[in-house]
Structure 1
Amino acid sequence: MFTKISHLWQELVNENEDEGIYLNEDNLVSSTNIETTKQKFHSFKLFVSPKIQALLLIEKQINQVYYQITVTFDYQEIVDFLELIQPQIIISNEKLTKLNQILSKDQNKDCSNHTFIFALLRILTEPLCLQEGYFGDYYQNQPIEVILRNRIEQERILHQVTQQIQQDLDLLIIIKMTIEQVQTLLQIDRLLIYQIKVPVQKKISDEIKFIDTVTYEAKVSSIIPSVLNFQEESCFNNIKNCEEKYLNGFYLAVEDVDNSNINNCLKESMQKLGVQAKIVVPIIVQNKLWGLLIAHQCFSPRKWKSSEVNFLKNISEYLAVAIYQYNCYQKLEKQKKLLEQQIEKKAKELQDALIAAQIANQSKTEFLGSISHELRTPLTCIIGLSGTLLHWSQDKQHKLSTEQQIRYLRIIQDSGRKLLQLINNILDFADIEAGKSLLFIEQISLQNISNMIYLAGIEIARNQGISVKLDNLTTPELDLFYADGERLYQILLNLVDNAIKFTPSGGEVIIRLMRNQNQVIFQIEDTGIGIYEEQISLLFTKFQQLENYRTRTYSGTGLGLALTKHLVELHGGLIEVESVVGKGSIFTVILPNSEEKNNIKPKIIEKEIGDIKINKTIVIICDDDEIGTFLCELLTAADYQVIWLIDVSEAINRIKLINPAVVILEKNQQISLSISNALKNDENKSFYLIVIRDEINGNDWENLSNSGIDEYLLKPLLPRVLLKKMSRIIKN
């Protein structure tokens, strides 16, 4: 009876849709617990038009058979009801205006739709036995032993499903066996599962899309057409709050599709499939609609019994448990594989660390042998020649000529210079490794330092038949540059000395200098023996020589280029190598113009820094969880205020509000450039901008520098180097 009354209201809406306004529980803020200050009810159906105002109020559902309802056409009662629910109503302004116009006092409120009234009275005056016969005919028309046998068979199927779940059988096996047995027991023409949001990979690309489709099916015979992989998304998408209704316990039972009041789109779809009657029960897993258990009767209408509906509900609940267990198992398997991969990764890292330790130990052994050889050679010259000079200076009869004395003294001086350079390199490298090396940034003349290097190169190449040239491409306007002059001289001297060492007689070494507004570029080009491509990566490794110290033809400790690289990086610069075996090499040093004058009066500045409040806020823009966590923990432990931003679209505005001292970017080249360009345009920019890279070359750095990037960090991030840079930047 209640179903017929509900259908009657729907027919009223369909026939007068253009003239009136239809409201039900779906138009409220919350349809699961409908309660006002004065009234609590289950649901309602209200239609208001100039000709008729009809309210069907379902006050409560007593059980699966009985409902308590109120039907009224009284204008005042409908107005009072609307006032009660008005705070919760959600409708458009257009509908609200139309509703108020219909209910205005100048309208005729007498109900003139007598057809609707007569139809309602016909439903209400039908004998009650016909209504209850719908539920009782199952038991009245069958012997008790048949009823019990069916009940026992239902319990057996549920028990079997439980056992299958406990045995951790595959989900496909559980679902297939279950729907086949249920279809056989209930004599359903076709029982299927319509799964929601099934992941499917596209053939052309690796993109995953989600579809709603039939994934399982059981049929009474081969005459029934298969609907496996059938998709019908348009109908479900057009039904308002379809998924929410199913989550709230709704199920659909249709005895005759042709004479039902279901959605027209859905009715047409069922007619195409030859479905005459159907039941739809939701399968809910973890409060989400996983799919629908659907029973089809194909050749004739069917009155669905309450016991059949309840049994299908039980089956859907058991299947939900099986699906939940299967999903949990899949997650555990995924976590297991992930852990295995991490263990393999850690094992590989340990193996690599062991190999690296063995190589380091071998390199140190080589270094000790090399250093003893390098120290012994100049010391032998100094001691031997100074002893010779001392001996012959005491012999009055056989004195050395002035030319011989000058030659010996020059050899002693050269040996002493090499020895001093060797010792300085070792001490400098030890200081840098211990984090004690600091730069003294001051304004220097590029012309002066290039001339000094040129003269030193001529002195080193003396008597070796090697030509040294200076190619200064700068202008007087760009001569002044901020850097540590002593360290820059050391960098260039090491490279020039190295170029001369590996250039045979008759060769040439060119010292080239170029400059733009933001950086200076030094190139040391030689026509020497060159370097094999696979050996270039070893050039800047500490304690590393490309030849064995026992058999090599060129001297060296393996520290010069490693020290040079460290000094360049202390300046925030880059060093690159291009080489062709047999033709020569080009070493390129790129240094940024660092206008830091804080080292001129260190004591005064330290006092000034102590007197003011230092901004120690650091913003990190990073997607990588490991790097972000590492930076946050390390910098927080070092007493910095760290803010980690992930959303790039909001980062720029937030940075302007936060006003940090340092911004660290861990993004790709394009995103880093876009962020830096946006921040560079801000006239009030007062923070230091740093990027993190796996590797970087001269062109990359030039692009980043021109976009406002102040410095870079290379992976893997070293805590000591990072903290040292942060301390220097914050103090400056």
Structure 2
Amino acid sequence: MSSSQDLSFHQLLPLTIFQQLGQLLQQMAQELGNEALIVTEEALVSIPTRPEATDLFTLVVSQQFSALLVAERRQETGDRRQQEELTLKESIILNSVNSELGTEAYVTLQERNSELLNVKLTFEPAAIAQFLQHLNGCLEDNSLARATLARYSQVIQPNNATLQGKFTLMLLSVLAPSSHQNDAQESIYPFVSVCQPVEEALHQQIAHERLLNQVTTQIRQSLELPIIISNVVERVREFLQVDRLVVYQFEQQESAIGEQLPVIREQGIFNSEFRQPKAKRSVIPNSEFSTHGCVIYEARASASIDSVLNYREENCFIPASGCWEKYRQGFTLAIADVDKAYVLSSCLLAFLQKIQVRAKLIAPIVFQQQLWGLLIAHQCYEPRSWQENEKNLLRRIAEQLAIAIYQEELMRSLKLEKQTLEQRVIERTQALHDALLAAQAASRAKSEFLATMSHELRTPLTSVIGMSSTLLRWPSGEMSQRQRQFLQTIHDSGEHLLALINDILELTQFESGKAVLNLSEFALAQLAEASLRSLSDRATRQAVNIMLDLKISPDYRLFADPQRVSQILWNLLSNAIKFTPEGGEAILRIWSENDFAVIQVEDTGIGIAEEHLPLIFEKFQQLDSPYQRHYDGTGLGLALTKQLVELHQGRIEVESTLGKGSIFTVWLPNNREQ
């Protein structure tokens, strides 16, 4: 039998009365069993598109009994709440100075419980169906919930008279309470300390700040992210007195700097007993964020609470980008009772019941403006009304964990950059080493080739020089003057070619490290005079005046290789004669400077351009063009001279002015220990 009696009403009621009415409707739904659907405003807490209205409601839908209880906060309530909160904060502060002000804070808390709401209770099927349609619009991203609401909207009909009468009696007991309840409440008040709420709030705030300070200090002192998170999770669980506190990390994704967000699941902290195969990644439309992940840390109040370490949920999350965007912006989700909040999400509700979650508080961990993971508090056995200070604490702890993650990411980036640079240095060094070995191998091959060819050339060349020399000693009557000139040309050319070959052989010895010095004491002045005499004929033919300027005594003795020093003098003097025009001069100066013998050759020749000075000691370098060459030679003389000087641990320098001449100066150490 259906009831036609309309018991709907719309009036101002205190918040406590509204809560009692909601409890009555929940009792009716429990008596109806599984056929009844009960939905409260908590079902919309996790919906990102939920309107910003402050409506509270309880909805019961079944074939036999349906009811809708809705409450609107009065317009002035917002300002009043802000004023009350401000009064409470001021009272807490002033209470530390004057405890008498604690009375005001207590009165403020009492006023909150007596807040008046615009309450409407209706049993009209049309009004209930219209409200279901409104909920359907709020849940446009949840196809499963919308299907559930659509199914129940088909069963709405006038209430059963028996059930309606039973609820009416229960309703009267709430709206017309006995007078002794008020007397009991009034008798309690004088015996309650007026300072107790203020003191508790102040103590909680101090404890919160102390915990945050400890977490911040640990993050600054430690660079080990797994240790930081493990300690923080355990401390926060104990402080909030929750059954379980977990850190849920989403799968790897690209960070704002184009690198993957740091992952700490590779630290070997997972419980292999719960390891599950990785499922195919589900990506939110128009977003690169993956909703999949797993629990990487947990702290439990006791071993009787099931572990969810490495648990992952892959099928029940609603792929709505707005929800995750809200988390990314710092949204904190508080669910007092999952049985009420997820009544329209049977899959997620079943999952939460499986892992023993009755109430939960979630704060996002945002790293570089991306959602890295979630910090989640679980109450496993009973509902829990989360306080604002608990929400703020969990949110601030999550922010500190984000700082620790950022710190870990910086260290990881630095280590990666260091490893990359080290690898580049190793690769570059190896490349240079390989190039050096290749160059050395090529140089050795060239030197060996030159040495082999030089040896092969010396044998026939020696025969040519010897035979031409023998023929030149024959009596002049046996050959004509023209024949003698030809023989002389052959002999001189052979001598010149032999000198070049000897230079090449000697240079290859230096490059192969086979050159040695035969050190002994000798008179440097005598060696210099002998060098000038050996070149006097050449200087005369080229009309170059050569002079000797000795600034050492004839008895001055140099400890060196006399043959090598003679070669140095011969090379420098022959170069001076070669590049000095007719009428010019070349001067050989020798003096002593500390423990060095200084040899200097100055000429008034053609000089060397400044840009060519770095090249004159290079092998096979001729400063004039090969197509316009006026001077013969291979370009080995000065290169060989530099090698001879450095073999004595000395040095050679050059000064030159184009068109005016050059000055070559050699320092040879005169020390038996060298």
- TM-score of Structure 1 vs Structure 2, range by shorter chain: 0.3 to 0.5
TM-score computed with the length of structure 1 as normaliser: 0.36
Q: Of the two structures, which has the highest relative contact order with CA contacts closer than 8 Å and spacing of 6 or more? A: 2
Structure showing greater Rg: 2
